[in-house]
Structure 1
């Protein structure tokens, strides 16, 4: 198996050739087509000044062009930096500045927004060589943008540099940084998790092996490419196995069911909310979803009944042959997975066992000595899957990965005698909404800037559809009459939609301990009491 992403792409083209690599609406690209487009785009990047080790940001929804743009970054010897397609211009600009981005690829007009305008309004990008605009999605609106490069023109720009692109691809090392994926920290400042090519490939290969993914599979990728679940467990898995990818830019339950039925989709991994939406869809009874053979879910607490319904035959369920759960994080992608033959209860109540090349250990908080099976402690992970470290943040890296190589996940859990991991709590305040990690500190910093807010704390509360959503407890400034809707709108202007709180409760004071720290456990207990 090739040890770099350019090598994996070349191998896929050599082995699978004319087989379809990606089907995006009416557009189908074979593996050879994909390689040809990637080479041409990489040459275009080089023409725009990209050097080995430079960073290429992509701010766009799933599409065939995202795949080309992302793989071309690696082919040109650069590092890929995916950005959440729902981010505001301020959030995207911050990442571009921190990564010293040389190229910024954007789907201008996505969701009717002027992303290029937002990016420019957010601040300077002193090291940026060019903004490259992708074609809009079907039904999208292309917003005119000045002084940018059209994605379609990159091949012409680099027509004389294809040899240089191939030389760059050859020179990429397995230890070079392949990608930087940002994950919010508990302080509210995002952290960039860096992975080498060998790590990205190893974790993708392990996932594909456990799932039994092959060239016969048709893989509907609803997980966003900006997330490791869509990029590594989507794009890279497709290249490694020869599976055909069907990228979904915007999840719509009816469109998704139509695609599954028409294209006889076999693979559909995703967050629990995806399957809840499918199960509750009014039109499900008229759709044939029987082609689905494998789904892998996680990222939130999974009810046993959901697994049972996913596996149950229609009309009661989705009739999926194999349903697994898994545990991972941006810093380690996938650490544990269930396996074929695991019972519904095991799949729903645990995250399975360590994948090949990974170790999982339960230890006392702050230590790394193993606790006995059944004892609760912090979940530690070690192995090839663990990131290299955080971008430009050696202190945070040292806090996360100890001298023995154990990644301290911040999750509390336990393992049984067979090594199955069960997550029971979180050291961090992070909660999961619709499959995405949300860190309250980031939301609190935004709300604290509102002129009417004197004090604020945010927690995650249960939600039937999203798993969890944010609830903000707010102390108004004296004389203020601000309402919940005002604060929610304020947050939505400055944060991605899934981060903005859905609920706001006004209180006279927040519970704090002697050192002034907000006692969020008290807030959670109050919420539980209210719901009883």
Structure 2
């Protein structure tokens, strides 16, 4: 029988109520506040009372627009208690991204961070609400753990038409019971072929089975500490933290990623487990080289975004005796869908993919054109079914018809091969998406924004290697008429509505696009643009 997550946590809290489950740190790195299981349960119970008082219940959506604070974990618990589902909103999102979330998820409440890193999230929310033209949510305003609450006037300033109140107001302390009928539990944004992210939602039964299985397969338990440096609003940060919490381990939360500060916290809290991409691990490794320190790292799950995972895996295993395993997952399949067991040799174990975390997850490899299953070891599209697979797409249920095969398998869009039953090696994305600072970004999203500029006639965005080894976005623009907008003007145009990491590193003006004609029409030759960008030293 699938466990209810709040029942799992209640068992842990009853057994050891004073055990530390989270470490809160503010943006200034001090003070660090340990949060016990009892305190987290009380905080979540108070939040659940507040949600009910605002009429939030079964089937409703709650936007959680917070950094990595204990409040974000508690808000997910509170949503489970009232039968609502959470859509995480990254604090780096700008107007367009937030408006899209509001339009698709229709949250009845938004839990919003007050006075975080001088970000005016209230201004962004007001502009996004106007752009989305949706029913206004109630704004539930919270401050950093341990900080003074917002004043009544500051809280009122967040009202976008649905009311605003401090959060939580209820003292909590009561029982935190799961909603009798489980429904959707959490959703994550993911890039899509249209240039607009999809909102992939998972039900509580599948989420519960996956988190418990992932924690068990990793070997997490009391005394272990997971690094919580990836945003909880994203699938990798969420699964890493929640798998630790429901396995009895603790999580060292990092609301702001400062490599030296994160390294200090890793030493202070004796972090044993890390899950992240090579961009995150690379920054930690550089900080460690400047300030070497003993780290009790037992296990690292690594994803290769910048081509450095093997180098970093060798460093961690050499310096700390850590087991490093390549991982696989996505917003639609959950992070840690698979990772490599220790028995595999490093040359395979450090690559993406691995063994699925529970036998309930099935995987096959099929020809992406014909849909026919290919022989073991042959390359094709990895397809999945099981409790980890997306249950719904918020705001666009028709998407499911596009991503599932006729016989019910989820089409990942990833190229891979079957190594053994339930074990796959990930090779690459079939599509032409970009990895920008660790985020999966569809070039069409940037292109759509640039194309909206009145002086832009045609645009194409490509990814090329940057100076730091990561991928950077380069936009090629054919101007409209005699007007020739400058590079800085077009970058600023993008920055008005796109998150900073989506703003192209370079914008190059050209007279015409290189094209090729085929049976399906004339296409822009993206490869030629990449070559041009590399030739010119972009």
The question of a shared fold, defined as TM-score above 0.5 by the shorter chain, is answered with yes
- Identify if the C-alpha distance between structure 1 residues 364 and 214 changes in structure 2 by more than 3 Å, giving closer, same or farther: same
Quote the residue 1:348 is aligned against. 350
| Residues paired across the two proteins, number | 517
- Identify if the C-alpha distance between structure 1 residues 525 and 203 changes in structure 2 by more than 3 Å, giving closer, same or farther: farther
Quote the residue 1:201 is aligned against. 208
Asked if the contact 1:511/1:522 (under 8 Å) is kept, the reply is yes
Asked if the contact 2:376/2:418 (under 8 Å) is kept, the reply is yes
CA distance in 2, matches of 1:30, 1:203: 24
Quote the residue 1:339 is aligned against. 341
Quote the residue 1:490 is aligned against. 493
CA shift, 1:222, in A, is: 0.6
Quote the residue 1:154 is aligned against. 169
* CA deviation map 1:282-337 (0-9, x unaligned): x6453423212111111524442222122221xxxxx2511111111111013321
Asked if the contact 2:102/2:129 (under 8 Å) is kept, the reply is no
Coordinate RMSD, CA, aligned: 2.7
Q: What SS does the aligned partner of 2:372 have?
A: coil
- Identify if the C-alpha distance between structure 1 residues 128 and 289 changes in structure 2 by more than 3 Å, giving closer, same or farther: farther
CA shift, 1:479, in A, is: 2.2
CA distance in 2, matches of 1:360, 1:441: 29
CA distance in 2, matches of 1:223, 1:87: 15
Asked if the contact 1:270/1:297 (under 8 Å) is kept, the reply is yes
- Identify if the C-alpha distance between structure 1 residues 5 and 257 changes in structure 2 by more than 3 Å, giving closer, same or farther: same
Gaps of 5+ in 2: 26-31
Is 2:407 aligned against 1:407? no
Q: Of 164, 176, 181, which aligns to 1:172? A: 181
Quote the residue 1:519 is aligned against. 525
Q: Of 33, 37, 40, which aligns to 2:39? A: 33
Is 2:510 aligned against 1:507? yes
Quote the residue 2:138 is aligned against. 130
Is 2:386 aligned against 1:383? yes
CA distance in 1, matches of 2:321, 2:474: 34
CA distance in 1, matches of 2:48, 2:149: 26
Q: Of 205, 219, 222, which aligns to 2:229? A: 222
CA distance in 1, matches of 2:117, 2:485: 29
CA distance in 1, matches of 2:469, 2:446: 17
Is 2:273 aligned against 1:258? no
CA distance in 2, matches of 1:279, 1:410: 31
* CA deviation map 1:341-399 (0-9, x unaligned): 33321123342233322222221114443212332222212222111132243332111
Q: What SS does the aligned partner of 1:416 have?
A: strand
Quote the residue 2:12 is aligned against. 12
CA shift, 1:420, in A, is: 5.0
Quote the residue 1:330 is aligned against. 331
CA distance in 2, matches of 1:268, 1:455: 43
Asked if the contact 1:275/1:310 (under 8 Å) is kept, the reply is no
Quote the residue 1:289 is aligned against. 294
Asked if the contact 2:82/2:179 (under 8 Å) is kept, the reply is no
Shifted more, 245-254 versus 200-209: the winner is 200-209
Is 2:399 aligned against 1:396? yes
Q: Of 124, 149, 165, which aligns to 1:118? A: 124
Is 2:364 aligned against 1:361? yes
Quote the residue 1:316 is aligned against. none
Q: Of 308, 311, 317, which aligns to 1:311? A: 317
CA shift, 1:249, in A, is: 0.7
CA shift, 1:523, in A, is: 2.8
Gaps of 5+ in 1: 314-318
CA shift, 1:527, in A, is: 4.6
Shifted more, 261-270 versus 324-333: the winner is 261-270
CA distance in 2, matches of 1:3, 1:408: 28
* CA deviation map 1:88-144 (0-9, x unaligned): 133213312322211111113323121112211233465345101120478999793
TM-score between both structures, scaled by the size of structure 2: 0.89
CA distance in 2, matches of 1:182, 1:40: 27
Asked if the contact 1:186/1:429 (under 8 Å) is kept, the reply is no
Asked if the contact 1:349/1:422 (under 8 Å) is kept, the reply is yes
Is 2:84 aligned against 1:61? no
Q: What SS does the aligned partner of 1:97 have?
A: helix
CA distance in 2, matches of 1:505, 1:329: 32
Q: What SS does the aligned partner of 1:339 have?
A: coil
Q: What SS does the aligned partner of 2:446 have?
A: helix
